[in-house]
């Protein structure tokens, strides 16, 4: 059996009966939805029409949420339903980043991830999903896609059907008859804060604290004025909201009702953890590689300082990871109940292994048991893998196109080596010629990768939108400052060997530049609408 849904848009009247039934069946809190109806208006005033699209989990054949979940809280049943076990969920929000369809949410009461589970408890006893039962037009069809005799299979075979974001390769099992791209493709009708239900744009309930932008509150009088502006009527002060009027007259698709925005899910903690991890792993890699090649000649006190600094930043990395969870007490589930397809789980073991090696080397630095070259080489490998695993984790987040760059692993290692070199210069009070030359080359590669990642002609529409946000939009000032001050200036000074600026200032600026770009890289793609 392979269960799936089909929405017949020829019949849907946008009544929200499915949404209400779902909320009642599963006691879904206000502000979040397992299924919802999206309204998109087309045409130019007064010749307009409204499209209704029922959105929910697509129960993908190749479900990215199942792959990325570190504790197997999400899993696929034998009948094809993508279900969840809330008792295993650590609320890391990785599944929400992986889902291209914006189908998951964090329950504001239970603080765990949830979504449409096809009313699996009803299916088990032979009942239909609650949304199917209440739909007055029978616009929601469910059944076995693997059976040629089922109604859904016959409709899929004989009607012109479409799915959302087929290019993602998830093989979604939610089909639409008369599915219009204006409502199924979120980039066709952008959300804004100037429509009747615009309070949803700022996020509701649990997600209000994640919202990047908050719409201004409007009282009932403001709403009446807004309606007047939508038809081009002058308001009491004689002015018209020209943005609304121009949109209506242009005929561009416009989103007039949708689920509340979830905003920024991975905030400063995630950008911070990538930076602290880069310092911890990079400092160790530079120290060990420098000693093995003869670039560095560290005293015992300097070696202890390097090891302790690396350990401190690794501990900070762990703290930031735990802070980002909505279920802090369950953080050990990643190690005790790991899902080995998830790079969240793999990364946790890599960091733990690297921390164990660091602890042994710190102990040896005081007891003096031996050189332990093999242990240092093992630590070097673990540090390298720990520095770059986040790139593979971000690649599992299929909902965020800018993170899917094939160059991301190289960029992660480059950032770690640059952070390690800067940290080494700050700890030792100087920098060798070999290390300065190496860091100069890494900075050039760093700038080159940024250029390719942000300007490549192969970028998808969502990735290009996020790139423009970084290059020309809200993050442009911070990004260009981090590039010019945090990359170009250190490059010139390191390459030329000039010491007009104190070394500690140059290295501190370089570290700050890496932190800013990591912060921007995590935030920008999350502002792209997924539904």
Give mean pLDDT, residues 83-87. Answer: 95
- Number of other CB atoms surrounding residue 185 within 10 Å: 17
Give mean pLDDT, residues 314-332. Answer: 95
d(CA 507, CA 519): 19
| H or E, element range at 470 | helix 461-471
Lowest mean pLDDT across 29-33, 184-188, 404-408, 498-502:
498-502
d(CA 296, CA 313): 21
Phi and psi at 228, nearest 5°, equal -65, -40
Give mean pLDDT, residues 19-32. Answer: 93
d(CA 360, CA 311): 11
Task: Give yes or no for residue 260 having a pLDDT over 90.
Answer: no
d(CA 181, CA 175): 13
Lowest mean pLDDT across 112-116, 166-170, 209-213, 237-241:
237-241
Half-sphere exposure of 291 (CA within 13 A, CB side): 18
Long-range contacts of 243-247 (CB under 8 A, 24+ apart): 243/194, 244/194
d(CA 367, CA 495): 40
In the structure, what pLDDT confidence band is assigned to residue 236 with cuts at 50, 70 and 90? Answer: very low
Task: Give yes or no for residue 443 having a pLDDT over 60.
Answer: yes
Task: Give yes or no for residue 214 having a pLDDT over 50.
Answer: no
What is the residue whose two structure tokens read 């208006």?
Answer: 41
d(CA 340, CA 137): 44
| H or E, element range at 311 | helix 300-324
The chain-wide mean pLDDT, for the chain, equals 88
Decide: residue 432, CB within 10 A, 0-12 exposed, 13-18 middle, 19+ buried: middle
Task: Give yes or no for residue 229 having a pLDDT over 70.
Answer: no
Query: Which residue in 1, 253, 285, 262 sits closest to 123, CA to CA?
Result: 1
Digit-coded pLDDT (tens) for 346-385: 999 999 999 999 999 999 999 877 777 899 999 999 999 9
Give mean pLDDT, residues 417-444. Answer: 94
CATH topology for the 3-184 domain: Alpha-Beta Plaits (3.30.70)
Pick the CATH number of 268-527 from 1.10.10.10, 3.40.50.11890, 3.40.630.30, 1.20.1630.10: 1.20.1630.10
Give mean pLDDT, residues 228-240. Answer: 41
In the structure, what pLDDT confidence band is assigned to residue 213 with cuts at 50, 70 and 90? Answer: very low
Task: Give yes or no for residue 311 having a pLDDT over 90.
Answer: yes
d(CA 343, CA 384): 15
Lowest mean pLDDT across 284-288, 485-489, 500-504:
500-504
d(CA 465, CA 292): 44
In the structure, what pLDDT confidence band is assigned to residue 250 with cuts at 50, 70 and 90? Answer: low
d(CA 268, CA 428): 29
Domain range annotation of the chain? 3-184, 198-257, 268-527
Residue 147 CA: distances (Å) to CA of 3, 191, 398: 10, 39, 30
Q: At what angle do helices 268-293 and 373-396 cross, to 10 degrees?
A: 150
Half-sphere exposure of 476 (CA within 13 A, CB side): 7
Give mean pLDDT, residues 192-217. Answer: 52
Q: In the numeric block, which tokens belong to residue 194?
A: 């100037």
In the structure, what pLDDT confidence band is assigned to residue 217 with cuts at 50, 70 and 90? Answer: very low
Digit-coded pLDDT (tens) for 118-167: 999 999 999 999 999 999 999 999 999 999 999 999 999 999 999 999 99
Give mean pLDDT, residues 69-95. Answer: 96
- Number of other CB atoms surrounding residue 245 within 10 Å: 16
Q: In sequence order, what are the beta bridge partners of 54?
A: 37
- Count the residues in the chain: 531
DSSP calls for 223-261: HHHHHHHHTT---TTS---HHHHHHHHHT--EEEE-PPP
pLDDT, position 218 = 36
In the structure, what pLDDT confidence band is assigned to residue 98 with cuts at 50, 70 and 90? Answer: very high
Nearest 5 degrees, angle CA 179-CA 181-CA 184? 70
Cα 110 to chain centroid distance, Å, stands at 22
Task: Give yes or no for residue 222 having a pLDDT over 80.
Answer: no
Task: Give yes or no for residue 232 having a pLDDT over 60.
Answer: no
Which residues touch 396 (CB under 8 Å, ≥6 apart)?
A: 64, 67, 68, 94, 98, 342, 343
Q: Report pTM.
A: 0.88
Q: Using an 8 Å Cβ cutoff, are 345 and 339 in contact?
A: yes
Task: Give yes or no for residue 233 having a pLDDT over 70.
Answer: no
Instruction: Report the percent of the chain where pLDDT is more than 90.
Output: 73
pLDDT, position 235 = 40
């Amino acid at each position: 059996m392979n269960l799936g849904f089909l929405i017949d848009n020829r019949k849907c009247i946008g009544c929200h009966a499915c949404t209400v039934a779902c909320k009642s069946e599963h006691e879904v809190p206000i502000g979040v939805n397992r299924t919802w109806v999206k309204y998109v208006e087309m045409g130019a005033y007064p010749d307009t029409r409204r499209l209704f699209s029922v959105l929910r989990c697509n129960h993908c054949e190749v479900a990215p949420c199942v792959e990325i979940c570190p504790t197997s809280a999400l899993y696929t049943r034998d009948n094809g339903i993508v279900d969840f076990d809330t008792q295993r969920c650590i609320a890391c929000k990785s599944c929400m980043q992986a889902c291209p369809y914006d189908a998951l949410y964090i329950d504001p009461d239970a603080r765990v991830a949830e979504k449409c589970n096809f009313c699996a408890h009803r299916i088990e006893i032979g009942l239909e999903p609650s949304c199917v039962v209440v739909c007055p037009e029978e616009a929601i069809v469910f059944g076995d896609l693997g059976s040629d005799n089922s109604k859904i299979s016959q409709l899929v075979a004989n009607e012109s059907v479409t799915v959302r974001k087929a290019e993602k390769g998830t093989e979604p099992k939610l089909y639409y008859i008369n599915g219009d791209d204006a409502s199924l493709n979120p980039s066709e009708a952008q959300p804004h804060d100037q429509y009747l239900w615009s309070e949803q744009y700022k996020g509701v309930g649990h997600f209000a604290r994640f919202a990047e932008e908050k719409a201004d509150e409007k009282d009932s009088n403001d709403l009446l004025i807004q309606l007047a502006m939508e038809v081009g009527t002058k308001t009491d002060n004689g002015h018209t909201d020209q943005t609304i009027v121009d949109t209506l007259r242009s005929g561009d698709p416009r989103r007039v009702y949708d689920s509340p925005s979830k905003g920024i899910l991975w905030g400063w903690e995630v950008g911070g953890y990538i930076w602290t991890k880069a310092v911890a792993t990079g400092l160790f890699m530079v120290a060990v590689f420098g000693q093995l090649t003869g670039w560095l000649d560290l005293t015992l006190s300097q070696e202890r300082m390097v090891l302790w600094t690396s350990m401190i930043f690794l501990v900070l990395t762990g703290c930031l990871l735990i802070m980002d969870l909505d279920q802090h007490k369950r953080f050990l589930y990643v190690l005790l109940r790991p899902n080995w397809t998830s790079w969240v789980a793999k990364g946790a073991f890599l960091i733990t292994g690297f921390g164990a090696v660091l602890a042994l080397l710190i102990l040896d630095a005081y007891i003096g048991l031996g050189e332990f070259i093999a242990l240092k080489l093992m630590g070097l490998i673990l540090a390298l893998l720990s520095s770059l695993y986040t790139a593979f984790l971000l690649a599992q987040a299929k909902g965020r196109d800018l993170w899917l760059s094939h160059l991301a692993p190289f960029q992660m290692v480059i950032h770690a080596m640059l952070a390690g070199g800067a940290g080494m210069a700050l700890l030792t009070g100087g920098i060798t010629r070999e290390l300065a030359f190496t860091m100069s080359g890494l900075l050039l590669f760093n700038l080159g990768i940024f250029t390719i990642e942000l300007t490549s002609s192969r970028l998808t529409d969502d990735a290009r939108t996020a790139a423009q946000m970084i290059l020309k939009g809200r993050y442009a000032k911070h990004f260009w400052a981090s590039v010019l001050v945090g990359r170009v200036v250190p490059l010139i000074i390191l390459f030329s060997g000039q010491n007009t600026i104190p070394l500690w200032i140059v290295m501190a600026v370089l570290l700050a530049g890496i932190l800013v770009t990591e912060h921007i890289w995590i935030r920008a793609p999350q502002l792209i609408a997924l539904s």
